[in-house]
Structure 1
Amino acid sequence: MKYYLGVDGGGSKTYTLIVNEQGTIVGKGNSGKGNHQSGYEEARQNIRESVGMALGQAGLTREEISFAFFGLAGADRETDYKIIRPMIAELGFPRYDINCDTMIALRAGTNRPYGVVLICGTGTNSAGVSPQGQFYQCGGFSYPYGDFGGGGSLCIEAFRAVIRAWDGRERPTLLTELLLRELGYDSVQAMFDDYLDHEKTPPLHTAKLLFEAALQGDPVATSILRVQGEEMGKSAQAVIKRLGMESDSFDVVLAGSIVTRGEGDFIHAYIRQAVIEAAPQAAIVKLQVEPVVGAVWLAVEKSGIKLPQRIYDQLRAVSDYELI
């Protein structure tokens, strides 16, 4: 029996999945963030813990894994790979490969070997592969290097909007009531003082309040989400044009919790508009399975065989809940 292992090391969690040649899940693991850029030792430990959990559940050794594929946030440049390669090599898999997490999200979201992926989870990233196999990544290096948004920034945008409405620099917003209730404060003054005095940062989960407020017609929240959509649209256009895919038919895969779980059309409308302008034959699809599934599919393909239909079908319905 052959076994394949896939890892998704993201900005907030690390998932590992092991399947056999029938596509049956035999082991799974989960841990914390797996991005070395957020802390090398923490990422190293979390990846090791997640992989070890999956191997233990499967009752397998590393030598019994036919191929392991690691899709890691922060695997962007050669500088990163000089750090990541030794980290993954020490895990002891005989056959493995590493790529950025954008590629496992793209593979999980389309049945074609090419396309574009836009990620908006904790952070943002975008990348594409042309029909000729050319790869291009646009962004993924944080705000000073051209990016905007993702949950890690949107929660700050929401917090900032409340402060600006309170001190008179912005119009009133429904975010005020929602944020105070979410964080357990009686007033903006109390929240302001506590955060400033103790150097706190708004928690990631408060990004969801932007969607709650926007659904109630709040113009401040709607405006913030519009900017997120426009920025992702610009990234899509940049990838499409750089790869010369304007006349091609392909999927633009949306991945990450902000664009796959956020309610309403507050972000997607602007992405659609930008994509249609750049590539009229492209189709926008939401990622329906966890990116770690794409890592498993790539592990199978990297082992030297075409992905069997049974493995593809077995994993298409894997959800985030099933990986915990």
Structure 2
Amino acid sequence: MGVRRPSAGVRAAVLALDAGNSKTDAALVGADGRVLGTGRAGGFQPQLTGTGAAVDVLEQAVTQAARAAGLPGPAAAAGASGAAGAAGAAPAGLPYADTVSACLAGADFPVEEQQLADAIAARGWGAATQVRNDTFAILRAGLPAGRPPRGVAVVCGAGINCAGMLPDGRTARFPSVGRISGDWGGGGGLAREALWSAARAEDGRGGPTGLAAALPGHFGLGSMAALIEALHLGHLAWRRVHELVPVLFEVAAAGDRVAAALVERQAKEVVAMASVALARLDLLAQEAPVLLGGGVLTAGHPQLDGPIRAGLAERAPLARVSVVAAPPVLGAALLGLDAVGAPPAAHAELRAHFG
């Protein structure tokens, strides 16, 4: 759908930001829920690039959204500040919105949320700034319209994470920074486990599995030894191991026991995270939505979806499980509309824009 250009000088109610490892989305949203402009930039990785460089990526998306809305981009606004800017006033054209609602990868601990909020606030894009982990964007995007946020979301994409929220503001979450915080799986984890099993199958340390031929075959290689060498020497970029996740599911669907065991373990991890989050929020004995998002969970793999639903039916019988297909930036924008007290009609308008 298109965007509505505001009149000159009009400020949006919300600047929504959703930033993950692979892409960043920005949307300027009016108080009535209409989208004024959108923008997209690359991946957001503050742990690798540093906070400043990561926020620079956000600025690229914000610049696109501002221009689409007929507003000056951050650089132009800063250049137009003149004497007022030297005196400490906000540059002309800023702030763009009443509030910045940012759901960001890498905001795993409160201290990281605060650091990122401070860095974003310093750019002057919004009169107020709120930063959450990007899992909350999936959670809010999937919750029913017109109701206070209440439920749990599990995201399984490059990594795995879970978050829950109640109308009174209480939340349940996990650090989700890898194996040191007890995590297992996600696309990256599944690919590494598949490689481990395939390597051991080929050299005899492990049992046989079709992964030993399927994984190197995906890259046109004849053996796991060749694939290991290519990854180790950098002839094959490590980021491409994510391409092996669909291969793992194909091999599992064909009846391979080793591959199927990895998929089964991933299902158990999703069930465990969701059940614990529901328990922390006292929702195990109540009807509550459990929302599934991220590339691994939205791909529709029956051998993963079935065990997840069966496991939750046993551990959380009243949970209502659904998959969230809406873009996460919708969730960030809805959280922003929540913060400014927008009416239900605004939420409905925003949802309609993103389909």
TM-score in terms of structure 2 length: 0.81
Q: Matches of 1:17 and 1:30 in 2, distance apart? A: 9
- By how many angstroms is 1:169 displaced? 2.4
CA 1:48 to 1:310, structure 2 compared with 1: closer, same or farther past 3 Å? same
Name which of 242, 254, 258 aligns with 1:216. 254
**8 Å contact 1:36–1:74 — kept in the other structure?**
yes
Give the corresponding residue for 2:62: 51
- By how many angstroms is 1:140 displaced? 1.2
In the alignment, residue 66 of structure 2 is paired with which amino acid? L
Residue 138 of structure 2 corresponds to residue 105 of structure 1: yes
Name which of 106, 109, 116 aligns with 1:74. 106
In the alignment, residue 37 of structure 1 is paired with which amino acid? Q
Give the corresponding residue for 1:17: 27
**8 Å contact 1:24–1:314 — kept in the other structure?**
no
Residue 219 of structure 2 corresponds to residue 180 of structure 1: no
Q: Matches of 2:273 and 2:55 in 1, distance apart? A: 30
- By how many angstroms is 1:138 displaced? 2.5
Any idea what the Cα deviations from partners look like across 1:83-119, whole Å, max 9, x if unmatched? 2122211221223321111211111011141000111
Q: Matches of 1:62 and 1:285 in 2, distance apart? A: 39
Match of 1:136, SS?
strand
Any idea what the Cα deviations from partners look like across 1:263-312, whole Å, max 9, x if unmatched? 42222233223322333221001002011111111122212223425424
Give the corresponding residue for 2:79: none
**8 Å contact 2:35–2:350 — kept in the other structure?**
no
In the alignment, residue 319 of structure 2 is paired with which amino acid? A
Correspondence list, 1:1-324, <5 A: 3=12, 4-21=14-31, 23-40=33-50, 41-60=52-71, 61-92=93-124, 93-111=126-144, 112=147, 113-130=149-166, 132-198=168-234, 201=238, 203-261=241-299, 263-308=300-345, 309-317=347-355
- By how many angstroms is 1:151 displaced? 1.1
- By how many angstroms is 1:150 displaced? 0.8
**8 Å contact 1:23–1:312 — kept in the other structure?**
yes
In the alignment, residue 74 of structure 1 is paired with which amino acid? G
Please say which of residues 251-260 and 165-174 is displaced more in the overlay.
165-174
Match of 2:163, SS?
strand
The alignment covers a number of residue pairs equal to 316
CA 1:188 to 1:310, structure 2 compared with 1: closer, same or farther past 3 Å? closer
Any idea what the Cα deviations from partners look like across 1:200-220, whole Å, max 9, x if unmatched? 635222222112222222222
Q: Matches of 2:334 and 2:191 in 1, distance apart? A: 33
Q: Which runs of 5+ in 2 are unaligned?
A: 1-5, 72-92
**8 Å contact 2:155–2:294 — kept in the other structure?**
yes
Q: Matches of 2:127 and 2:202 in 1, distance apart? A: 58
Any idea what the Cα deviations from partners look like across 1:208-252, whole Å, max 9, x if unmatched? 211222222222221111111101111111111122112111100
In the alignment, residue 83 of structure 1 is paired with which amino acid? Q
Match of 1:30, SS?
strand
Q: Matches of 2:314 and 2:206 in 1, distance apart? A: 33
Q: Percent identity?
A: 30
Q: Matches of 1:270 and 1:181 in 2, distance apart? A: 28
Match of 1:66, SS?
strand
Q: Matches of 1:5 and 1:131 in 2, distance apart? A: 22
- By how many angstroms is 1:121 displaced? 0.9
CA 1:174 to 1:62, structure 2 compared with 1: closer, same or farther past 3 Å? farther
Q: Matches of 1:131 and 1:271 in 2, distance apart? A: 26
CA 1:176 to 1:57, structure 2 compared with 1: closer, same or farther past 3 Å? farther
Match of 2:127, SS?
coil
Q: Which runs of 5+ in 1 are unaligned?
A: 318-324
- By how many angstroms is 1:53 displaced? 1.7
- By how many angstroms is 1:316 displaced? 4.3
Please say which of residues 17-26 and 47-56 is displaced more in the overlay.
17-26
Q: Matches of 1:226 and 1:213 in 2, distance apart? A: 13
